[in-house]
Every structure is written in C-alpha cells, then in structure tokens.
Structure 1
Amino acid sequence: MFAYDRSISALGKHCLHAFSQVVPASLAAFYRINPHLQACDFQLQGMHPRMHSAYLNHYRHIDPLKPSRCMATGLPVVPLREGLARQDEKANGEYQQFLLRHQVVDVVEVIAHLDGIPVAGLSLLRGNNLGAFSNAELQRLIPLQGLLQLAIHGCTPAASTQLDQLTPRERQIALLLRDGVSNKELARLLDLGLPTVKTHLLNLFRKVGASNRTELVSMLFL
C-alpha cells in the first residue's frame, strides 16, 4: 500500500481537476482505500462539509459504490446503476433519498488498483443541471483510470520480495491479517464464504511457510 503523503495529496488535486475537465461533474472527491476496503483521507471538490459528514456518519455503509462493492464488479469505472443492481432495494432507496436531498442525480466511481488491490478512488457526482452520465462519458473515463493507476504506481515504494510472490488476493488477505481482521470480517469484506476464507489462509500459510497468523505477519511485514 502507498503512504498518504504530500505526493498523494498533490495527485488527488490534479486528478480532481483533470477528471472534471474531461467529464464535467457538480461535485467530486478523491480518496485513499485502506486495507479494510474503506475509503479514507478524502479530498473534496465542491461538496459541502455537511453532506460529507452525513455520508460518513449515516450512509457510507449502504453506499452501493463503496470500495468493496466496486471491487466485486471487476470494473475500473463503476456507474451508480451498476452498484444499485448489486444491493437490496431497501438500502438503495435510503441511499438514493440521501443523494436526492443533496440534488445529486448520478454518481460514477473510478478505482485505481495496485497489483489487483484497490488503493485509491475518485467519485464524480452529477446534479440536475448536468444530468446523468452518458455511456460516451463513462468510456472517456477509462483511459483516465489507466493514467491514475500509473500515477499511483509512481507514488508507491517497491514491495517486499515475499509480497511480490503472492497473488493479488493473497496480498489483500495478508494486509488485512496485519490489521488484525478476523475470519468473519475477512468473509464480509471480501464477499466470500468462511470455508473459502479458510482455504485462502491455508494456501497463504503454506506459500509463506508460516504456521499461524502471527508468524505470517511477522515474516511478511516485520
């Protein structure tokens, strides 16, 4: 994962400006994605602090475009309609009411990955004056997502040799284990069944040569 320093802060500012120039947006936000697949370290453009505070305190858990849901789509650019299609109607209704209260009619998420793991994202939100994102506009965001990934790589220190030997999913699990995540939390965050999580852990232990979580974290990160 990359450190959130001045270079990342500068990258966020440039991305907010560049993306909204190519595909106009009423509001925008750049953020880091932590090992728990949660957005953090937000940089806001045009968004009122009250809206952002309400989102963090009451709505982020039902956001159909939160990082874990975006990751599940396998898409680099994820429109709101894609996220809504993967969430139950009750949660969708509550979230859409939140958007409407702030005059937002559409949202698209652009996700940057590092070795298959989501590490940063950019939200573009549209008000009534701009209307929904067209398919042509969504297509224009795809090459920008590629540039964002290149920029993220440039801000990232070289990974350890042992981490390089792991698959993207194994690296993601290892990072979560480092943060003390339980098997049940792993299953929820990665949208996997507990038996599948246990299989991944056994394979990870075998590959690294560790016999338990503590030993694995020590061998990979200490």
Structure 2
Amino acid sequence: MQSTELGQRCLNTFTQLIPASGCVFYRIAAQLEPHDFLLQKMHSDMHERYLSQYRRVDPLQPRNCQLTGHSVVPLRLGMSAQDDLSNRRYDGFLQSYGVVDVVEVLAFEQGRPVAGISLLRGCDLGVFGPHELEQLQALQGMFELAVAPRLSSTPTLQLTSREWQVAELLRAGRSNKEIARQLGVGLPTIKTHLINLFRKVAVSNRTELVATLFL
C-alpha cells in the first residue's frame, strides 16, 4: 500500500471517531524530521507558513514528543517542555488560523517514531477532553500496528530538514524563485539544495524527485 493511501485511511479512521477541524499524516525520517505530509481539511497556506517559519518552534515536532515519553501528546504537554518565547510565537501562529488545540499521535517501531498524525481543532470544537485523549490512546495502538511495519521497512533517506522543506515545496508545484522567497534564502542556495537532493535520491529532475519521495 502506498504511503498516501495508507495515510488517508488512517486520517479517515481517526476523524470518524474524534472530530477535528483539520489533520495531517506524515512520515518521520531517521533524524526525527517529519516529511511526506498529507493534509486533510487544512489550508496549504498554513502548512507552507509552518514549514518555512514555525516548524522549529513547534512543541509537538517528533523530537519534542519523543522526549515526553508519550505516544499521544496534547499541545499543553508539549508546551510544558518548551520555553515561553517559543510557545508564544507558536501560539500566535495557531491563533492566526483559529486553532485552539492540537494533539499529536505517534507510531513507533523499536522505540523510534516512524509516523505521526496531527489533529487540530478550532473554536467550534474546542479543546480535546480527557475522554477523547483516552480514545486517541486506544487508536494509537491500531495506528502503530497499521503503519509501523510498512514504514520501518522503507529505506530512510538521509535528507536534512531544509532539504525536506525544499522537496515539500517542489511537491506543491513551487518554482525555484518561489521556494527561495518562501524560505528566505537566495536562489543559488535553492539550486545547491536541488543538486544535493538529486544526488541523494539518485534522480535527474524535479518530477522524478517528487515521484520517488512522495508516491
């Protein structure tokens, strides 16, 4: 089963049982970098801003979640382990899109997270309650059984977080100039990232790169 189909099925299962205003499925590389994002009911603008400006202050990124020792991590738990300045910046980002709560659910294989689901809620649904977090914990076991054996057996590419960002924007159809502007770097830097990506993924063009990484 392809990653996209697998992710879609997981998102559908979660949101049928636990209402969410938006959600994301993603894979997690060996360096604990999330990639291969599958969005559901979420504006692409929000995701692109997250990747380019707010990813590093996200208290629920895989590395932070793993440090909590939990596989279901609500936003308030993630924020308790991060400095106030980063939390305020990230909270402002969420509020600008009307998001009032987030929960991360991780699937592990041999102690390493290999996939995750983000569930986001707006004011209409409110924060996740204790009973819903218990339900998510029960779903996490099935999520892990469904995805861990498939994704852990997939060779993991040693890409940097910036290279994954470039690849994600290529997937969204952005030109080199648009990617440079989005990430706040020069055009030569983007060209260097592309050269490195082509070499690491063993492809010769953008189309092959996106197909290899995301299809």
Please indicate, yes or no, whether the TM-score normalized by the shorter chain is above 0.5.
Answer: yes
For the 8 Å contact 2:23–2:41, the answer to whether it is kept is yes
The count of corresponding residues between Structure 1 and Structure 2 is 159
**Could you tell me which of 6, 11, 14 is aligned with 1:16?**
11
Measure, in 2, the Cα distance between the counterparts of 1:36 and 1:157: 13
1:108–1:124 contact (8 Å) kept in structure 2: yes
Root mean square deviation of aligned Cα:
1.9
Alpha-carbon distance in structure 2 between the residues aligned to 1:63 and 1:157 = 24
Residue of structure 1 equivalent to 2:59:
64
Of residues 123, 138, 143, the one that matches 2:138 is: 143
Provide the secondary structure at the position in 1 that maps to 2:70: coil
Alignment of 1:101-140 (within 5 A): 101-140=96-135
Amino acid at match of 2:15: S
- Percent of residue pairs identical: 47
Which amino acid in the other structure matches residue 109 of structure 2?
Answer: L
Partners of 1:133 and 1:99 lie apart in 2 by 15
Q: What's the offset of the Cα at 1:36? A: 1.2
The match for 1:86 is 81
Q: CA deviation at 1:156?
A: 4.7
After TM superposition, the score normalised by the length of structure 1 is 0.68
Is the 2:26–2:38 contact (alpha carbons within 8 Å) kept by the matching residues of 1? yes
Instruction: Name the CA distance, whole Å, in 2 between partners of 1:54 and 1:153.
Output: 29
Cα distance in structure 1, aligned partners of 2:130 and 2:159: 41
Say if 2:14 and 2:139, in contact at 8 Å, map to a contact too: yes
Unpaired segments ≥5 residues, structure 1: 1-5, 160-174, 182-222
1:55 aligns with 2:31: no
CA–CA separation in structure 2 for the residues paired with 1:84 and 1:57: 20
- 1:114 shift after superposition: 0.7
1:12-63 CA-partner distances (Å, limit 9, x unpaired): 0011111011110000000000111111000000110100000000000000
Which structure has the larger Rg?
1
Distance 2:47 2:148 in 1: 28
| Contact residue 109 and residue 121 of structure 1 kept, 8 A | yes
Are residues 158 and 53 of structure 1, via their aligned partners in 2, closer, same or farther at CA, if it must alter by over 3 Å? closer
User: Matched residues in 2 for 1:102 and 1:153: separation?
Assistant: 31
Indicate the SS of the match to 2:87. helix
> Secondary structure of the residue that 1:155 maps to in structure 2?
helix
**Which consecutive aligned stretches of 4+ in structure 1 deviate over 2 angstroms post-superposition?**
156-159, 178-181
Name the CA distance, whole Å, in 1 between partners of 2:66 and 2:152: 23
The secondary structure found in structure 2 opposite 1:40 is strand
Q: CA deviation at 1:143?
A: 1.5
